[in-house]
Structure 1
């Protein structure tokens, strides 16, 4: 069994010989790992935690830890993970509560990206992707093959249906339809030149005037982007900054915030 000498593994833990427990990991007495699991380093596994085969836990992941619920008084609750999951850095998966059924569940073949939180009594199906810093409050259900976008906030007791995709930065307060693309509105605008920031970086008045003139055509006029570019070029864009601005716009493949 490959257990690093700095790891702390409780006597009651069940760890097959094929597993690897890296430096400074902590494994509680009621943890049971399946075959070929790897704890990279600084991983905490706690509570009545049962983990399937071939799961990989990256640094500072905390799985099966006590729920963030003021009603929790130390009841013997747990968490269950299936096979072939990837649990990235600083993920937290809380164990269940007595009032919520007692068990938090994650299926098989999931990618749980960095800083994700899976709250108590939540259920995540098979083949799901939870992107960076997605947060599931307690009692959330994420059905099979759903993708929860980065920085999502999912309210208690909400369901995300099979094969759904929620866009980054979305706050979910009701159930999300299966098969859907659900996202918060995108209302990002460019409000003008970053004049103060550029001055702090040493841009002199000549450079700033050239950029301000170009930005008036881009943002303040009634021209579309193509027309604005033609206008900027027709004025003889000799400033290195303006030439770079024009080239940046012309190479854009996803469009521009304006």
Structure 2
């Protein structure tokens, strides 16, 4: 008969349920009225506040904090899901505030939802099936990802932002409060609400805070102007961006993002 594997230094509240087959590492803390399902693996020093539920198969890294009432690793909200084995993988040092929900993948969508390291998910945020979230992102209250969304590193989603399924959000992008995104957002771009969100320049302040110097930011601004303000077609813009990319790795990353997508850019 399968039993839970619990490190001796783990702390489990008397009212919590840890199913057979779960694995809890050193220093893991499971709070009152939590549920940890079978095939859930939790690495060292991760903490679950009260009323959290974690369903497997789910793998959670070390030093994560789930403040309370989080629903992690639930079945995907997809009518095509037929009970196939699908997973959720979470990295290290993430913070999940109250009522965060994160779903496992789907069989037709790759089978895995992935969360990187050092992210903040504030209250009522949602990550749907088959999403991939990078590192050091901030999801403000009620920010939501539909299925199959990809989010790069250092992205900020402001409160009540909503991302349509299959969209990509490039690294260092900033999505403003309440913006609804239905196209790919290139790296470094800032999106603000106007019905559906539209590009409104680059995330200059965020880039400065992360150590980008004036030369790098200037190159990104020139690329933004070529992409959004030149009035040319996307094909014409690609040629201009290719020229700018010769002297800027950041512009090269932006151009590679554009060339690798299947959905239209947000323009």
Q: Does 1:49 align with 2:49?
A: no
Q: Which residue of 1 aligns with 2:133?
A: 124
Q: Residue 46 of structure 1 contacts residue 64 of structure 1 at CA under 8 Å; is this kept in 2?
A: yes
Alpha-carbon displacement from aligned partner over 1:148-205 (angstroms, at most 9, x marks no partner): 111011100000000000000000000112111111139xxxxxxxxxxxxxxxxxxx
Q: Which residue of 2 aligns with 1:207?
A: none
SS in 1 for 2:108: helix
Q: Which residue of 1 aligns with 2:39?
A: 30
Q: Does 1:97 align with 2:131?
A: no
Q: Residue 2 of structure 1 contacts residue 17 of structure 1 at CA under 8 Å; is this kept in 2?
A: no
TM-score with structure 1 length normalisation? 0.71
The count of corresponding residues between Structure 1 and Structure 2 is 186
Q: Does 1:175 align with 2:184?
A: yes
Query: CA RMSD, aligned part only?
Result: 0.9
Q: Which residue of 2 aligns with 1:11?
A: 20
SS in 1 for 2:23: coil
| Within-5 A mapping of 1:43-82 | 43-82=52-91
Shift of 1:91: 0.5
Shift of 1:115: 0.3
For 1:90 and 1:106, the matched residues in 2 are separated by 17
Q: Please tell me whether Structure 1 or Structure 2 has the larger radius of gyration of its CA atoms.
A: 1
Q: Residue 47 of structure 1 contacts residue 76 of structure 1 at CA under 8 Å; is this kept in 2?
A: no
Q: Which residue of 2 aligns with 1:148?
A: 157
Q: Residue 154 of structure 2 contacts residue 172 of structure 2 at CA under 8 Å; is this kept in 1?
A: yes
SS in 2 for 1:50: strand
For 1:183 and 1:123, the matched residues in 2 are separated by 23
Q: Residue 17 of structure 2 contacts residue 33 of structure 2 at CA under 8 Å; is this kept in 1?
A: yes
Q: Which residue of 1 aligns with 2:94?
A: 85
For 2:33 and 2:16, the matched residues in 1 are separated by 4
SS in 2 for 1:99: helix
For 2:85 and 2:52, the matched residues in 1 are separated by 21
Q: Give ranges in structure 2 of 5+ residues lacking alignment.
A: 1-9, 196-267
Alpha-carbon displacement from aligned partner over 1:97-153 (angstroms, at most 9, x marks no partner): 000000000000000011011000000000011111011000000101111111011
For 1:95 and 1:176, the matched residues in 2 are separated by 24
Q: Give ranges in structure 1 of 5+ residues lacking alignment.
A: 187-258
Q: Does 1:135 align with 2:144?
A: yes
| Within-5 A mapping of 1:106-125 | 106-125=115-134
